[in-house]
Structure formats: structure tokens, C-alpha cells
Amino acid sequence: MDRGRYTCVLPAAGPDDPTVTAMRARELGRKSVVVGDRVGLVGDTSGSSGALARIVRIEPRRSVLRRTAEDDASTAEGRLERVVVANADQLVIVSALADPPPRTGFIDRCLVAAYDADIEPLLCLTKADLARPEQILGYYTELELPYLLIRPDSPLDALRNLLTSRVSVLVGHSGVGKSTLVNRLVPEAERAVGTVSAIGRGRHTSTSAVALRLPALPGAEQDPGWIVDTPGVRSFGLAHVSAKSLLHGFPDLVDATADCPANCPHTADEADCALDGWVAAGRADPRRLGSYRRLLASRAGETDPRTEPDPRGHPE
């Protein structure tokens, strides 16, 4: 999307992707069109230069990845909910093992957003040439979270296989190697490496997400899939996620709550919350409980998510 003009790929398009430029039709009302939407077009759909079609319909979305500007739903920013991508199948959380170091707070937020959207998470650990993954993987042991290690020279076959026939959204902090990875997967994408996107703009503007078709693998019949790069998404505010749904991002903690009193807020000051005993019994990592409770607290506006402590390797 660029200045109200949407680039639409026609169905059953081959690798050459005939595209049509379109604008929203008035009959869409206030519904917004986002990356990944399947739309109905009318008008000039020839795709020839200067042709402009109109988007008259948005098909029902299979999944909706959302974020809020902040965590606290009692503020205007917290109520400003945005759909990041529609119809995604997978959330690829890109985190460097060093330079910058992994932030479990960010990864945990992404996991909540993924489970909330019913999208499968995949942890992509880049810069595996710089540091070892044991510490970060240890933190997620109970989750059976799928992960891949990426170094500059490692083949990307395993990643390509996991991307095949799906729409995958890439998220990650700036500097983790997202653009480098996108360029290795889609050389034509020519994403700028080593630059930070959307700096110095108003806080309501962000570089919009862009969908890139993966090149077909030699001899493969399957649709190679799409990746969606999200340069403007720095984090996932979670004001739109209910306290209950927040727990879905912590499948390693969910079972414990069967023993909580009715309507347990699961906060640290709730003496009868079963989560403390669960962690004390070694059934989940205490840092994960700390992370869950920090997210609970930030939704209530008690802490600023941007200054959230990094629990890497430190007991709570």
C-alpha cells in the first residue's frame, strides 16, 4: 500500500505475478484493507500502466494479527488497535543471539499475539555465528517452540521448508538481521540492510508491511509461500488481548490455573494463585511466570512496556 493505492496480485498468478493497482471503493465504508487481505476488484483490472481498479469487497479473514499502540486499554493510544496482517499462517519471530541480545520480553509478547491470532509461532535465532543459543532455548524448553538457528553462511533449506505454501509474517527488533534474511530468501526484494525504518516520523505513522512472494524451489510444484516484512512494527501492544487470552501465550503455565480459585487474577499478590506453587515445583520456569505477570501488570498500566526489564538469565 502506498498513498491509498494498493497493489493486488491476481489469483492463480504464476511467479511473474501480474499485479493490479487499486484503490478502496466507497462501498467498503470504514473497513480498512490490510496486507494479506483477499479482495474483490472491479473496474480496470488489466494491470496495464495507469490502470486503476477499485476494491469493493474484503473476503472473510482466516486470521487477523493485531497490535495496539500500547498495552493499557484505558488510554487513547491503548485503544488504537491496528490489524497488522490478515490471513497469515505463521509468525516468524526474528531474534539475534547477540548484537542486539535476545529480549525474552519481546518474544513473549509476540507469542501472545501469535496465539491470540491463532497463528503458529516460529523462533528464528539469527547471528548464531556470534553466540550460543542454550540460554534462550532453555527459557522456552517447556513450550516446544519450533526454532531455527541462522548464521550468515548456513543454508536456509529448513526455513524455506517451513515457509512453503504459507503466509509468514516476520517480526523483530531493528538490527536483528531481518532485512538480511529477507534478502537471502527473496534476492529481488533488495531490502536495505543496516538501516532503521520509520525513524523520525510521527508516532502514528509506520512503514507499512509488505508481502513478498518467495521464489519457487527448483522442481517443486508447491506454492513457495509469502513472507510479510513489517519494518514499522517494533512491538506488540496487547491492550486488545483479554487477561484470559494473555495466558494462551504461556502454554507452559496454563495447566496450573486449573487449581486457582475462581476468577483468580494470577497476580503476585494473590496468595492462593496456583502459579506460584507450579513454578516452585519446577513445572515451569520462574522467569516465564515473571514475564506473564509483567505483561498482566503492563496491561493494567502499571509499568511502561518500553522499559520492561530484560529477564534474560536473571531470576526474578
Ligand X SMILES: Nc1nc2c(ncn2[C@@H]2O[C@H](COP(=O)(O)OP(=O)(O)O)[C@@H](O)[C@H]2O)c(=O)[nH]1
| Binding of Zn ion by 131 (CB under 5 A) | no
Per the CB < 8 A criterion, the answer to whether 240 and 73 are in contact is yes
> Which of 260, 268, 297, 300 contacts Zn ion by CB under 5 A?
260
Instruction: Rule CB under 6 A: say whether 130 interacts with ligand X.
Output: yes
Residues whose CB is less than 8 angstroms from the CB of residue 204 and which lie 6 or more positions away in sequence, other chains included: none
Q: How far is CA 30 from CA 25, 173, 203, in A?
A: 10, 31, 22
Closest separation in Å from C-beta 217 to ligand X: 22
Contacts to Mg ion from residues 176-215, by CB under 5 A: 179
Number of residues that bind ligand X (CB under 6 A): 17
Distance from C-alpha of 254 to C-alpha of 247, rounded to nearest angstrom: 6
230 binds Mg ion, rule: CB under 5 A:
no
Site string for ligand X, 179-218 (x = CB under 6 A): xx------------xx------------------------
Q: Which residue is nearest to ligand X (CB)?
A: 177
Shortest distance (Å) from residue 82 CB to Zn ion: 31
**Is residue 100 close enough to count as binding ligand X by CB under 6 A?**
no
- Closer CB to ligand X, residue 85 or residue 241? 85
Phi-psi domain of 180 (left: phi exceeds 0; alpha: psi -120 through 50; beta: other): alpha
In the list Mg ion, ligand X, Zn ion, none, the entry touching 20 (Cβ below 5 to 8 angstroms by class) is: none
Does residue 234 bind ligand X (CB under 6 A)?
no
Of 81 and 99, which CB lies nearer to ligand X in the complex structure? Answer: 99
List CB contacts of 262: < 8 A, sequence separation 6 or more.
Answer: none
Measured CA to CA, the distance from residue 90 to residue 227 in angstroms comes to 9
- The set of cell numbers assigned to 16 is 511473474
Residue 279 buriedness (CB in 10 A; 0-12 / 13-18 / 19+) = buried
What CA–CA distance (Å, rounded) separates 77 from 84? 16
Q: Which residues bind Mg ion (CB under 5 A)?
A: 179
Binding interface with ligand X (CB under 6 A): 126-127, 129-130, 150-152, 172, 174-180, 193-194
